[in-house]
Amino acid sequence: MSAITSPLKAEDKKVVTAALQGALVDLLDLALLGKQAHWNVIGHNFRSLHLQLDEIVAAARGHADTVAEREVALGGNPDGRASTLANTSEVPQLETGYLNDGKVIAAMTDILGSIVRRMRERVAATEKPDPVTQDILIEITQDLEKYHWMIEAQR
Amino acid sequence: MSAITSPLKAEDKKVVTAALQGALVDLLDLALLGKQAHWNVIGHNFRSLHLQLDEIVAAARGHADTVAEREVALGGNPDGRASTLANTSEVPQLETGYLNDGKVIAAMTDILGSIVRRMRERVAATEKPDPVTQDILIEITQDLEKYHWMIEAQR
Amino acid sequence: MSAITSPLKAEDKKVVTAALQGALVDLLDLALLGKQAHWNVIGHNFRSLHLQLDEIVAAARGHADTVAEREVALGGNPDGRASTLANTSEVPQLETGYLNDGKVIAAMTDILGSIVRRMRERVAATEKPDPVTQDILIEITQDLEKYHWMIEAQR
Amino acid sequence: MSAITSPLKAEDKKVVTAALQGALVDLLDLALLGKQAHWNVIGHNFRSLHLQLDEIVAAARGHADTVAEREVALGGNPDGRASTLANTSEVPQLETGYLNDGKVIAAMTDILGSIVRRMRERVAATEKPDPVTQDILIEITQDLEKYHWMIEAQR
Amino acid sequence: MSAITSPLKAEDKKVVTAALQGALVDLLDLALLGKQAHWNVIGHNFRSLHLQLDEIVAAARGHADTVAEREVALGGNPDGRASTLANTSEVPQLETGYLNDGKVIAAMTDILGSIVRRMRERVAATEKPDPVTQDILIEITQDLEKYHWMIEAQR
Amino acid sequence: MSAITSPLKAEDKKVVTAALQGALVDLLDLALLGKQAHWNVIGHNFRSLHLQLDEIVAAARGHADTVAEREVALGGNPDGRASTLANTSEVPQLETGYLNDGKVIAAMTDILGSIVRRMRERVAATEKPDPVTQDILIEITQDLEKYHWMIEAQR
Amino acid sequence: MSAITSPLKAEDKKVVTAALQGALVDLLDLALLGKQAHWNVIGHNFRSLHLQLDEIVAAARGHADTVAEREVALGGNPDGRASTLANTSEVPQLETGYLNDGKVIAAMTDILGSIVRRMRERVAATEKPDPVTQDILIEITQDLEKYHWMIEAQR
Amino acid sequence: MSAITSPLKAEDKKVVTAALQGALVDLLDLALLGKQAHWNVIGHNFRSLHLQLDEIVAAARGHADTVAEREVALGGNPDGRASTLANTSEVPQLETGYLNDGKVIAAMTDILGSIVRRMRERVAATEKPDPVTQDILIEITQDLEKYHWMIEAQR
Amino acid sequence: MSAITSPLKAEDKKVVTAALQGALVDLLDLALLGKQAHWNVIGHNFRSLHLQLDEIVAAARGHADTVAEREVALGGNPDGRASTLANTSEVPQLETGYLNDGKVIAAMTDILGSIVRRMRERVAATEKPDPVTQDILIEITQDLEKYHWMIEAQR
Amino acid sequence: MSAITSPLKAEDKKVVTAALQGALVDLLDLALLGKQAHWNVIGHNFRSLHLQLDEIVAAARGHADTVAEREVALGGNPDGRASTLANTSEVPQLETGYLNDGKVIAAMTDILGSIVRRMRERVAATEKPDPVTQDILIEITQDLEKYHWMIEAQR
Amino acid sequence: MSAITSPLKAEDKKVVTAALQGALVDLLDLALLGKQAHWNVIGHNFRSLHLQLDEIVAAARGHADTVAEREVALGGNPDGRASTLANTSEVPQLETGYLNDGKVIAAMTDILGSIVRRMRERVAATEKPDPVTQDILIEITQDLEKYHWMIEAQR
Amino acid sequence: MSAITSPLKAEDKKVVTAALQGALVDLLDLALLGKQAHWNVIGHNFRSLHLQLDEIVAAARGHADTVAEREVALGGNPDGRASTLANTSEVPQLETGYLNDGKVIAAMTDILGSIVRRMRERVAATEKPDPVTQDILIEITQDLEKYHWMIEAQR
């Protein structure tokens, strides 16, 4: 069943929807981990990180929606279920329990750095098959690199 | 390590944080599944369901945050990571791929009905140990029962 | 025909929807009478009462909607037609024609006092069968008692 | 007792306040029936009608207030009590219980059509005695005819 | 010098701009007198009248602007200078010094009644030569009659 | 096929929908020409005209929508396609290329003057068959005459 | 009759309320003249001046209200009636009829310059008897000098 | 003198108004102490605490108003004068002078913990005599426990 | 006459302004056709399509303005007159009269698909001569492909 | 310990911080007493005073914050604790229990009059040592004198 | 060439415009340096300072505009070009590269302290020649002293 | 010291941060010069330019912030101090003193044209090393070219 007519050729569609599905998993997992830290962080910088993490979560949720809707607009089927995230995410995970502020800064720097690396590969991969999708991935990368700086600067 | 002093006695805290953790898993999974259907739904009622599912997702995210922050305020540690959701959620799951509008209505009726049943058990379980938490669970149940009606009415 | 699956057992549903239907009649009649006084009041305190009555009408309309939607979410069928109001309302009525400000204050004190008495009975009646509905009725009672004071204080 | 000095002559005031009182009953009954359908509607178009009916109710309430305040500004006394509505309304009524979406569309088309007919008679009746009131009735007719189209178009 | 081309014939323009100029003087004087009372009122109803008078002033200023811009759009030249107001206004005037609340109510009832009478003459006078202008005058009359009621109701 | 029941008699409907269709063509063409000048204007008054033209376009679009929705509410079928505009519009057209500010002022004065003339004929034509439609046309005429003045005043 | 207890000694009150009454007349006349020019201006700069004059009128009205309320707070009685303005204003007046844009700029420069001169005298006169009033007059002077520049800069 | 008719029996009213008066004193003193720390805090976390304390003060003021208005709605007389606070408050006090950020965190943790303990006693005490009041106290307790966590997490 | 200095070389300007002019015609015609369907649609999905079409029209108007202003910023002269649209548009047209909801969905899917194909050609054509313009066209393509999906998903 | 470097010389700082501390006590006590009356007022003017008192409380709280932050910016330490207010305030106090509207008007006139007298002394005392602080005190005095009039005018 | 007529005498104008030009340089340089630190700050307090510096920059930009517009209103010519700032600013400068949070706090304390000293001299210098300008400088000084405290308090 | 980990390789980072630093200097100088003209412009078009220049300044400030934050996110250190601007800016400078409106238009056309030329070089230079940065520069170029047209069109 293929309800939505893709503006892309079959082989381009395959490459591009794979990139978008990968971005979707990264972004949804970022949102879940950002909330995990938002709730369990303690330490002198609690309040500042608590607020900053919510901004990152809001951005991740917004970007995830953009990416998934782009995937379906190209005739793909985004998959953002918990089991899909648990099985396919490459994002470094957080432990349970309280997280000291220093640990949150280190872990979020790694998490964002890891996602940025994959986003840049997707920017390269989609340039030829679909510059329209590439433009979306470029804007998301830009935003994630800004948050990466704003977390790392607190070390 | 127990950074936050609980206002509850140890045994009450155990019961109440378990109820809150259960509610958190239900609500975060509802948000993920609501988005899954929001993206993949097709059919004559596409637009209406697409919009309605986003309202449910927004409500689920807001309630999840309230529940998790209540858990930490009682000295617990909420866990909302993808693997925790995948392993402990009792919410009926959706398949991948396109979802016809009729199927979305049937599945969301089941999903909301299933969560409402567990929420009512939690309302009962927390009444004695912590009426303050119970009040939160009551308001969330009320909201979920409203969405259950608004989905089921479309059958 | 029972389109909406109730989360309550049959006997509980009967008690609770009866309480909600009673509250609905009280609140819709309060809105109609509040407007009746809003239009026909005269006297030195005209403007203050004219404005205050509109706040009460707005509150009554909002609460009526909450109560009716709760009734249907529980599998009931709210009835707010003019004939139902005229036949079943227990709210003291206003005469036609101009209403002096002192008369409005006396009448609205009675009207609100009468509704509050029935709302408190409904709070008691729903506690066991459905604490979720009870919570709604408690919040409405609280609001009506506030307006009762704010009217009575002007005597 | 005639507290408000009318800008109209006695015979004109009689005709015009009668037209306004008739419009008031139509509009208040429209608001009650619109809510009745808003709560009890079921079917595939539930959500769209549920929202649309609330827009009609909001418009009806706003117009009712305008009409009643015009009546009192002319030295009349608007009467919008439940018994007055039940006894004098000529609006076709709805049954109790669930209302299928198709039935709601048919019934609301009748209800709006019936009110529009009477409003056009009032526009004609008030032209000579009070063009200021006529202008209000014209604007309300225009709005009701728009809602009539928007309901009927869904058949 | 006639910079703006009138859509009206010369004789119609004469009648209509005269009506508009008369309305302008009435409305600007109402705004000045409303402020005069807004500042100098004393008595138990001080605050309510102080606020209500500002609503009347705001309405008068808005209507004056509409009327003057209509006059110039028809090729006329509105004149709202202090000396023109002082020389041509037929609005009953207020004394200097403190104004008791009862006196304000009596005076504003007279002032509004006097303006309404002239506005109704202008509505009649403009019907044939320019129904577009008449429509503006009708809406202003409607608003002034509402304020007349809301002041007179406080006697 | 006549999906919408008209509140008008057949002969009245014919006259009134013709007037509305004529107004629709005028207003949509005004919007297109206003944008044409908004983009191509040059000269010392560029910025002021660029902004003013966008206000006129916004007004024209809003009025066109009102007029077309009125037409369909009366059982007519508005036609606002490019070919219909090109074939039936009586609005004076603009040349391609840059437009000096003085030229824009002269041309827009003509364009608005031409539309106003036809609008006044429609006001007259609809008075008897449908005063409700006439009221809409009166308000649009009033607005267009205001813009006519505000353009012509810059000569 | 002296309803409001002044915080000033009798001789100080006399000086200060005289300064405030003078400022009130200046500001109310500025508002009337600003509107007069707002309506009757023509020329290439019509739109820019039309908008700018409305900003000056809004400022003048706001300052007039502040000044009059200050006067009454000190136990004085502000007088802003048309005849008072016509008889006591020292503001240079405008002629009737169209006003070319250049003429408006010249006249408003004079008007604002004239008021500023008197305001600076009032600033000096109130320094000793009431620095609280002086502070109000200083802020108004500052605002008027800004408008003076913004008009004069267009010569 | 008992102007407001209580919906409660005399003995219930006594218990409930005592609980509300106690809550009022706690909340008003929390607002005063929160401001005291808001002004005098110094240290690396100055800005974060300065802002957070203002949120707590705003919440405390809002809850105090709710509690006092509930007290008067039940026929009691809230007392929130400085001497009443100084004489009856059980909230741990702050010293004068600068307060290091660490000290503020420790003191506010104590202050909030102390109030929460008393609020939970009031929740228990009002359950039987007035579930409507209890619901208010539950919501306030929930909010205070959230702030307690958000302060303590910074240790 | 070439009033605006282009940042592009002559041959690049030619290619790029041609692409922009083509996009302008597509987008303005989309806006006119979207309104045509917005007014004439009937059927069960009337309301949902009526609202959705207005979102598409708003987007088309916004994009058309961006494209035309880009064209003039590059030294070109956008042409969006009715005759130009009628003569040069390649967008599939709608018939007059009522449009069933199914027909609207089919036609709008074609219309959007047709425009998207041309937009993707323009994205390719402008990459080398002007990446700044290309970026605008990419963002518009992205938006149109989203609307294409949201219409097609309703089949 | 003196964390904040004062811009003032030691003797000036002493005079100015004393004035600010005195103003702080006056304003915080005004806020507490305003709320006391806001809750306990009864009588025909209940609603008007209830609302007006809340405006005064909001102003008093805002001014208190400004004054305290000014004190700390000058190197002082504001003290706004309940015991400090109870021990050092010179503001006339209110009794417990219901307060008739007439009594509230008399008492608030005294309270505001008493504070204004001390504020004017502080304006004089700070002129030389710190005109920056004086400017703050002048603006607060101006605002309090406005409220004094608006209360006294109701006698 | 002296386009703007000064309300001041020549010698007063010279003193006052010099003070304003000095303030302009201070404030524009504060804005540039605040941004420099906003971008390059690192350390645990990164986020708090990053946000706080933007508030200071926004205030500095707003005050600079007020000061420059005052200068031109007095017949002067403000100069805020980069070379003027580089050549005449007396504000302590920041180094290039990363700035640790502690360093930012120390440097901004110095920068604000330095500007405050010069602002107080300008307040003294303008008192006699132009109290209107002095009032502006007093308000800016007050704001800068508040930021000085809020930075210094973090040491 | 290199606190922020760059997502770019060293040689790419060098090229890209140089482009960003160049853009930063251009944009900050544009903001300073835009304000310089905003304050000192005189002539018939004063008001229009005064407003338009502020829009350009606001855009320049926003873009400068984006560019500088991008630079630091890539591990660079933006430098926006006055001396850096004075020494490295290639933007054509304005003279001191009044600026006639024609001169402002000519100068701003040059200034914007000069910056656009360098921005287009930076777009080309960053394409390979960092398409994410290129996308930012493209959007800024697009905005500046729009302002260039809007200024040049006024010649």
Compute, in degrees rounded to 10, the torsion defined by CA atoms G49, G53, G55, G61. 180
What confidence category does residue C3 fall into, taking pLDDT thresholds of 50, 70 and 90? confident
Q: What's the confidence (pLDDT) of residue L3?
A: 85
C interface mutation test: which of D50, D83, D100 has the most C CBs within 10 A? Answer: D83
pLDDT at J2: 61
| Cβ of residue I39 closer than 8 Å to a chain D Cβ | no
Contacts H152 to B, Cβ<8 Å: 3-5
Interchain CB distance below 8 Å, A154 and K48: no
pLDDT in tens, F128-151: 999 999 999 999 999 999 999 999
pLDDT at K81: 98
Point out the residues of chain B with pLDDT beneath 70.
1-2
D142 to chain F: which residues are within 8 Å by CB? 70, 132, 135-136
d(CA L89, CA L23): 10
Residue I77 lies in a domain: yes
I64, part of any domain: yes
- Predicted confidence at residue H3, as pLDDT, reads 86
pLDDT > 70? residue A50? yes
Neighbours of chain D (3+ CB pairs under 8 A): B, C, E, F, I
How much is the pLDDT for I2? 61
L90: Cβ–Cβ under 8 A, 6 or more apart, which residues?
L26, L114, L118
Beta bridge partners, D41, equal D99
Task: Kindly identify which residue of chain E lies nearest to residue D128, measuring between CA atoms.
Answer: E124
Q: CB distance from J41 to chain C under 8 Å?
A: yes
Note whether E60 and J61 are within 8 A (CB): no
Looking at the predicted structure, is the pLDDT value of residue H24 above 90? yes
CATH number at residue B20: 1.20.1260.10
Is C26 a residue whose pLDDT tops 90? yes
Q: Do chains H and E touch (3 or more CB pairs under 8 A)?
A: no
Q: How far is I109 from chain F (nearest CA, A)?
A: 18
Nearest alpha-carbon partner for I37 in I118, I119, I117, I102: I102
Q: What is the pLDDT at residue D3? A: 86
Q: pLDDT at residue L41 above 60?
A: yes
- For chain E, list residues with pLDDT below 50: none
Q: What is the mean pLDDT of residues A92-114?
A: 97
The nearest alpha carbon in chain C to B112 belongs to: C7
Do at least 3 CB pairs under 8 Å connect J with K?
yes
pLDDT, position I3 = 86
**H-helix segments, G74-100:** 82-88
Question: Which residues of chain D lie closer than 8 angstroms to F7, CB-CB?
Answer: 113, 116-117, 120, 145, 148
Any G CB within 8 A of L118 CB: no
Q: J9-41, pLDDT tens digit by residue?
A: 999 999 999 999 999 999 999 999 999 999 999
C136 interfacial to chain B (CB closer than 8 Å): yes
Place of tokens 């700032």: K85
Q: Are E138 and D132 in contact (CB under 8 A)?
A: yes
CA distance H33 to H85: 12
The identity of residue A5, as a single letter, is: T
Compute the half-sphere exposure of residue L73: CA atoms within 13 Å on the CB side of its CA.
23
Q: Is the CB of residue G125 less than 8 Å away from at least one CB of chain J?
A: no
Min Cα–Cα distance to chain F from D2, Å: 33
Does chain J reach chain D with at least 3 CB pairs under 8 Å? no
The residue of L110, L116, L145, L146 whose CB has the most chain I CBs within 10 angstroms, and thus the best one to mutate to test that interface, is: L145
F154: CB partners within 8 A, 6+ apart: F45, F105, G42, G43, G44, G46, G47
Model ipTM value = 0.97
Whether the Cβ atoms of residue C111 and residue C92 lie closer than 8 Å to each other: yes
Nearest to D120 by CA among D22, D30, D7, D12: D22
Average pLDDT over chain C, rounded to an integer: 97
Is residue D103 less than 8 Å (CB to CB) from chain B? Answer: no
The pLDDT tens digits for J111-122 are 999 999 999 999
CB E77 within 8 A of CB E14: no
Cβ contacts below 8 Å, chain F against chain L, sum to 18
The band of F3, judged by pLDDT with boundaries at 50, 70 and 90, is confident
How many CB pairs below 8 A link A and L?
A: 41
What string of H, E and C letters represents the secondary structure of E77-108?
A: CCCCCHHHHHHHCCCCCCCCCCEEHHHHHHHH
Q: How far H69 CA sits from the closest chain A CA (Å)?
A: 33
In a domain, C74, yes or no: yes
- Which residue of chain G has the CA closest to J140? G132
Q: CA-CA distance, K5 to J137, in Å (whole number)?
A: 34
CA distances A154 to H50, H58, H101, Å, are: 20, 30, 19
Residue type at D76 in one-letter notation: G
Which chains does chain K touch, 3 or more C-beta pairs < 8 A? A, G, H, J, L
Residue A132 lies in a domain: yes
Is C4 inside a domain boundary?
A: no
Residue ranges in chain G whose pLDDT is less than 50: none
Please report whether residue F3 resides in a domain: no
Q: Among B27, B6, B9, B10, which residue's Cα sits nearest to residue B88?
A: B27
Q: Measured between alpha carbons, how far is residue F72 from residues D150, F6, I37, I107 in Å?
A: 10, 9, 12, 20
Phi, psi (rounded to 5 degrees) for I61: -65, -45
Q: Do L150 and F47 touch (CB under 8 A)?
A: yes
Using a CB-CB distance cutoff of 8 angstroms, which residues of chain J are in contact with residue C153?
41-43, 46
Q: Do G142 and K70 touch (CB under 8 A)?
A: yes
H2: left (phi over 0), alpha (psi -120 to 50) or beta: beta
Minimal CA separation from H81 to chain K, in Å: 31
Identify the pLDDT of residue F2: 61
pTM of the model: 0.97
Please tell me the distance in Å from K117's CA to the nearest CA on chain L: 21
Please state whether at least 3 CB pairs lie below 8 Å between chains A and F. no
Kindly report, residue by residue over C83-122, the tens digit of the pLDDT: 999 999 999 999 999 999 999 999 999 999 999 999 999 9
Distance CA B152, CA I152 (A): 25
Query: What mean pLDDT comes out for the span A95-120?
Result: 98
Q: Model confidence at C125, in pLDDT bands (50, 70, 90)?
A: very high
What are the DSSP E strand ranges found in A28-136? Answer: 41-42, 99-100
Rounded Cα–Cα distance for residues B65 and B73 (Å): 12
- Do the domain assignments include residue H129? yes
Per cent of chain B over pLDDT 90 is 97
Query: What angle is formed at CA B56 by the lines to CA B53 and CA B61, rounded to 5 degrees?
Result: 125
Residue D65, domain extent: 10-152
Return phi, psi of residue F7, to 5°: -75, -5
Out of L64, L87, L94, name the one closest to residue K81 (CB): L94
Which residue, among J1, J63, J70, J83, would best test binding to H if mutated, counting the most H CBs under 10 Å from its CB?
J83
- How many Å lie between the alpha carbon of B53 and the closest alpha carbon of chain D? 12
Q: Do D123 and F132 touch (CB under 8 A)?
A: yes
Identify which of K42, K44, K50 has the shortest CB distance to residue A45: K44
- The list of chain K residues with pLDDT below 70 reads 1-2
Residues of G in contact with F45 (CB under 8 A): 44
- Residue in G5, G72, G135 closest to J142 by CB: G135
**Per-residue pLDDT band at C152 (split at 50, 70, 90):** very high
On average, the pLDDT of chain F sits at 97
The tally of domains found in chain F comes to 1
* Interface touch B3/H116, C-beta < 8 Å: no
Neighbours of chain F (3+ CB pairs under 8 A): D, E, G, I, L
Q: Which residues of F touch E136 (CB under 8 A)?
A: 142
In angstroms, the CA H41 to CA H50 distance is 7
Q: What is the pLDDT of residue J116?
A: 98
Residues of H in contact with A50 (CB under 8 A): 150
Q: Are C46 and E154 in contact (CB under 8 A)?
A: yes
The reply to whether L13 touches chain A by the CB within 8 Å rule is: no
Task: Decide if J52 touches E, using CB distance below 8 A.
Answer: yes
Residues of A in contact with K53 (CB under 8 A): none
Give me the pLDDT at residue G2, please.
61
Say which of I32, I64, I68 has its CB closest to residue F81: I32
F46-85 per-residue burial string, b: 16 or more CB within 10 A, e: under 16: bbbbbebbeebbebbbebbbbbbbbbbbbbbbbbbbbbbb
K109 in H contact zone (CB under 8 Å): no
K46 touching chain L per CB within 8 A: no
**pLDDT, position L2:** 61
- The answer on pLDDT for H1 being more than 60 is no
* Dist CA F22 CA F16 (whole Å): 10
Cβ atoms within 10 A of the Cβ of E53, count? Answer: 22
Residues of E in Cβ contact (< 8 Å) with D123:
none
Chain K: nearest CA to H48, how far in angstroms?
Answer: 7
Residue-wise pLDDT tens digits, D57-86: 999 999 999 999 999 999 999 999 999 999
Write the residue in G4, G72, G132 that is nearest to J141 by C-beta: G132
User: Is chain D touching chain B, with at least 3 CB–CB pairs below 8 Å?
Assistant: yes
Instruction: Report if residue L57 sits inside a domain.
Output: yes
b/e sequence E96-119, b meaning 16+ C-beta within 10 Å:
eebbbbebbbebbbebbbebbebb
